[in-house]
Chain A
Amino acid sequence: MSFITQYMVNQGVPQETVILILMLPIVATIIAFGRQIIGVRGFGVYAPLIITFAFLATGLKYGLAIFIVILLVGTLMRFLVRYIRLLYLPRMAIVLTAVALAILAIFLEGAYSGRKGLISASIFAILIMITLVEKFVAVQTERGAREAIILTIETLFLSVVCYWVVTSIWLRNLVFIYPFWIIFGAVIINILLGKWTGLRLSEYWRFREVIKKIELPQQK
């Protein structure tokens, strides 16, 4: 099965590209598993997925730092901008501008103290993370700060787990050698996940008081 991937690499397609494309179904499956079985909600599929791949481009250390800076600046700006009563899109544009400035400041600091890993990071990954700020700010206004913080932590948790999975050498080799088995397996698992009607792990905790109260009919 691996001859197709081998052929592509021989013809000059970067190996990393092939592996990342094949990793996508695995990461999506992990996120689906997290939602359906464990009960980690996060911000849908897109946000944790894109953050995972952004982390790959920047490295976990800088990725997390940039992510947290983006969130903090975004939230701060939301509070500041709220007092000048603006329409949604211009308001969001101002928040994005502030976040972009903050990232610029991070790069300035990186250049000043000679952090090679940071200043050579792919800018597209960081740009994508910046655009996520809209989603975070929207959740803050819609569902309140508390919910937004919980969802953010869950998203980050998912992304870090996915990052570890994607960077595992063993899985990388597996994906490269058996690309179709991996995709086939992912589809099967997702069909099963989509039919799963049992409780999510988080719901065992959520409903613990009710479960304690339930009386089984035929018990000795």
Chain B
Amino acid sequence: MLSFLKKSQHILGINARNLNYLRPSNSLRAIRIADNKLLTKKILRKASLPILQNYGLIRQIKELKGFDWTVLPPTFTLKPNRGLGGQGIVVVYGRKKKFPYPWIKADGRLVDIKDLENHILNILEGTFSLTSLPDIAFFEERIKLLKLLKSYVYRGIPDIRIIVYNSVPVMAQLRLPTRESSGQANLHQGGIGVGIDLGTGITTTAIHRGRLIEYAPDTRLLLKGLQIPEWKEILKLAIQAQIVSRLNFLGVDIAIDREKGPIISELNARPGLSIQIANLSPLADRLKRIKGLKVKSPLKGVKISQDLFGGEVEEILEEVSGKKVIGINEPIEIIDQQGNKYQTMAKIDTGAYRTAICASLTHQLGLNETMKYKKVRGALGLEERPIIEFSFILDKKLVSTEAFVADRSQMKYDIIVGRKDLKQFLVDPSKNVLMSSRALAKLKKS
């Protein structure tokens, strides 16, 4: 019980969110902008960030009477300008080809112009607005769904909610609309929230209506393990949106279009807290670590976020498989016959069967005993290469190998590790690919 109370201090509750983060971080003026979807879009467009296109705007009943319905494509969304929590949004995903050409809503029901007019009237009266004051209705483009997400989504717009604080993304979740949420991605309308590992952009755990789930409802599709494409770009976009909005603590909603890539769909000045359940991870700690940091550029923010909050997926994988996850370039320690360790960088190459080591390096380390020769068919034709025996340590695991000796003096790496010696590892090509040649040279020197 005591530890339960202690643990619960790491959760960010509504009281703490409002008092510690919303009030001090967000100016009223900035909040007013975020609450106004059209104004937000204008500001984002000015900063040349990608936003969804508008098809039409209705400010008054008079404009509704004169509205040209032919400008609408078969698929669009109808939104109130100052809606609260996704209320009053109609998602239209198609149009019947027979008279009277009704549109098809995300829940499968048909709507005609009269229904839309009625809904717009409600919007104009402020039925869905935060303050119940008269509002503006607008038609917005509906993004083309990614193939990856197509089978997971029930006819709506999935998006990625990223909470950004002080120019660093602190937590992210993928929000999937369901049948009951009528095409909207908001969690309290019945959407699914799937936690995302900030380091890799791979989904982890999922919730629906506050409960943990493994599969998408009514399907056998596993929700974890999905790789969100262009993850770094998405994180960068979220930070840029935060800087432009001048809100120091906010939720950025990003949708991914099949052709146009990531697009900012909305900013939220009061992001919900159930993102903590979707990620099975508390926010309070992460926010405390970011507080007061000076982040110079969006790219730096992405880096900080990935380094501090990423990596959970890897741990899970390592736990399940009992194998270490390594990247394409890894530090390696080669052990010579006296038992001395020589450190360098290795390239992990699952395309090669055997490990290959540079002849100059074997000389230097005194590993000269050739065991046998073997013929290999390489790109340069058939050749015979010597094989030597030695051990190395890769990611804290000792591996003994029979490796080819080759002239690699012109190559970036002195040693490549082939799949024969990678049986204890899983290779993740997205891990530490950014190893620059300068860092490599530095490591070689030391």
Chain A interface residues toward B at CB < 8 A: 36, 85, 87-88, 138, 141-144, 147, 195-200, 203-204, 206-207, 209-214, 216, 219
How far apart are the CA atoms of A211 and B277 in the complex, in Å? 9
Do A211 and B128 touch (CB < 8 A)? Answer: no
* 8 smallest beta-carbon distances between A and B, as pairs: A197-B16, A199-B13, A214-B7, A88-B125, A213-B280, A203-B13, A207-B11, A211-B8
Do A143 and B87 touch (CB < 8 A)? Answer: yes
Given contacts A198-B16, A199-B16, A214-B10, 6 further A-B contacts (CB under 8 A): A197-B13, A197-B20, A199-B11, A209-B212, A210-B280, A211-B7
Residues from chain A with Cβ under 8 Å of B368 in the complex? none
Do A197 and B189 touch (CB < 8 A)? Answer: no
Residues from chain B with Cβ under 8 Å of A203 in the complex? 11, 13-14
Which of chain B's residues has its CB closest to A194's CB? Answer: B19
Residues from chain A with Cβ under 8 Å of B6 in the complex? 216
Q: Which chain B residues numbered 1 to 40 have a C-beta less than 8 Å away from chain A?
A: 3-4, 6-8, 10-11, 13-16, 19-20
Q: A141, A210, A212: which contacts B276 (Cβ < 8 A)? A: A210
Known interface pairs A141-B127, A209-B277, A214-B282. Does A199 touch B188 (Cβ–Cβ under 8 Å)?
no
Residues from chain B with Cβ under 8 Å of A144 in the complex? 189
How far apart are the CA atoms of A176 and B282 in the complex, in Å? 47
Do A200 and B13 touch (CB < 8 A)? Answer: yes
Do A196 and B15 touch (CB < 8 A)? Answer: yes
Do A204 and B19 touch (CB < 8 A)? Answer: no
Residues from chain A with Cβ under 8 Å of B210 in the complex? 206
A36 CB, nearest partner CB in chain B, Å? 6
Best-surrounded residue of A203, A206, A211 (most CB of chain B within 10 A): A211
Q: List 22 A-B contacts (CB under 8 A).
A: A36-B15, A85-B114, A87-B125, A141-B127, A147-B188, A196-B15, A197-B15, A197-B19, A197-B20, A198-B15, A199-B13, A199-B16, A200-B15, A203-B11, A203-B13, A203-B14, A209-B277, A210-B11, A214-B7, A214-B10, A214-B11, A216-B6
Residues from chain B with Cβ under 8 Å of A211 in the complex? 4, 7-8, 10-11, 282
Interface contact tally, CB-CB below 8 A: 77
Do B3 and A216 touch (CB < 8 A)? Answer: yes
Residues from chain A with Cβ under 8 Å of B280 in the complex? 209-210, 213
Which of chain B's residues has its CB closest to A88's CB? Answer: B125
Residues from chain A with Cβ under 8 Å of B122 in the complex? 88
Asked if B281 is at the interface of the complex by the 8 Å CB criterion, the answer is yes
Best-surrounded residue of B10, B13, B114, B280 (most CB of chain A within 10 A): B13
How far apart are the CA atoms of A212 and B212 in the complex, in Å? 13
Do A204 and B15 touch (CB < 8 A)? Answer: no
Residues from chain B with Cβ under 8 Å of A198 in the complex? 13, 15-16
Which of chain A's residues has its CB closest to B4's CB? Answer: A211
A74 CB, nearest partner CB in chain B, Å? 16
Asked if B118 is at the interface of the complex by the 8 Å CB criterion, the answer is yes
Asked if B84 is at the interface of the complex by the 8 Å CB criterion, the answer is yes
Residues from chain A with Cβ under 8 Å of B92 in the complex? none
How far apart are the CA atoms of A144 and B88 in the complex, in Å? 11
Do B15 and A207 touch (CB < 8 A)? Answer: no
Residues from chain B with Cβ under 8 Å of A196 in the complex? 15, 19
B81 CB, nearest partner CB in chain A, Å? 15
Residues from chain A with Cβ under 8 Å of B84 in the complex? 142
Do A195 and B19 touch (CB < 8 A)? Answer: yes
Best-surrounded residue of A196, A210, A214 (most CB of chain B within 10 A): A210
Q: B15, B20, B189, B277: which contacts A210 (Cβ < 8 A)? A: B277
Best-surrounded residue of A141, A147, A203, A219 (most CB of chain B within 10 A): A203
Which of chain A's residues has its CB closest to B129's CB? Answer: A142
Asked if B357 is at the interface of the complex by the 8 Å CB criterion, the answer is no
Which of chain B's residues has its CB closest to A85's CB? Answer: B118
Asked if B121 is at the interface of the complex by the 8 Å CB criterion, the answer is yes
Mask for B106-133, Cβ within 8 A of A = 1, else 0?
0000000010001001100101100010
A200 CB, nearest partner CB in chain B, Å? 6
Residues from chain B with Cβ under 8 Å of A200 in the complex? 13-15
A202 CB, nearest partner CB in chain B, Å? 9
Best-surrounded residue of A141, A142, A198 (most CB of chain B within 10 A): A142
Q: Which chain B residues numbered 66 to 89 have a C-beta less than 8 Å away from chain A?
A: 84-85, 87-88
Mask for B210-254, Cβ within 8 A of A = 1, else 0?
101000000000000000000000000000000000000000000
Which of chain B's residues has its CB closest to A195's CB? Answer: B19
Residues from chain A with Cβ under 8 Å of B281 in the complex? 210, 213
Residues from chain A with Cβ under 8 Å of B13 in the complex? 197-200, 203
How far apart are the CA atoms of A36 and B274 in the complex, in Å? 18
Which of chain A's residues has its CB closest to B128's CB? Answer: A142
How far apart are the CA atoms of A157 and B422 in the complex, in Å? 63
Q: Which chain B residues numbered 182 to 200 have a C-beta less than 8 Å away from chain A?
A: 188-189
How far apart are the CA atoms of A219 and B15 in the complex, in Å? 28
How far apart are the CA atoms of A209 and B13 in the complex, in Å? 14
Which of chain B's residues has its CB closest to A143's CB? Answer: B87
A26 CB, nearest partner CB in chain B, Å? 22
Q: B8, B19, B114, B212: which contacts A207 (Cβ < 8 A)? A: B8
How far apart are the CA atoms of A39 and B125 in the complex, in Å? 31
How far apart are the CA atoms of A197 and B189 in the complex, in Å? 27
Residues from chain A with Cβ under 8 Å of B20 in the complex? 197
How far apart are the CA atoms of A209 and B127 in the complex, in Å? 36
How far apart are the CA atoms of A70 and B340 in the complex, in Å? 86
How far apart are the CA atoms of A206 and B3 in the complex, in Å? 17
A32 CB, nearest partner CB in chain B, Å? 12
Mask for B200-212, Cβ within 8 A of A = 1, else 0?
0000000000101
How far apart are the CA atoms of A199 and B8 in the complex, in Å? 8
How far apart are the CA atoms of A200 and B87 in the complex, in Å? 26
Residues from chain A with Cβ under 8 Å of B189 in the complex? 144
Residues from chain B with Cβ under 8 Å of A210 in the complex? 11, 276-277, 280-282
How far apart are the CA atoms of A143 and B190 in the complex, in Å? 12
Residues from chain B with Cβ under 8 Å of A88 in the complex? 122, 125, 127
Residues from chain B with Cβ under 8 Å of A85 in the complex? 114, 118
A193 CB, nearest partner CB in chain B, Å? 9
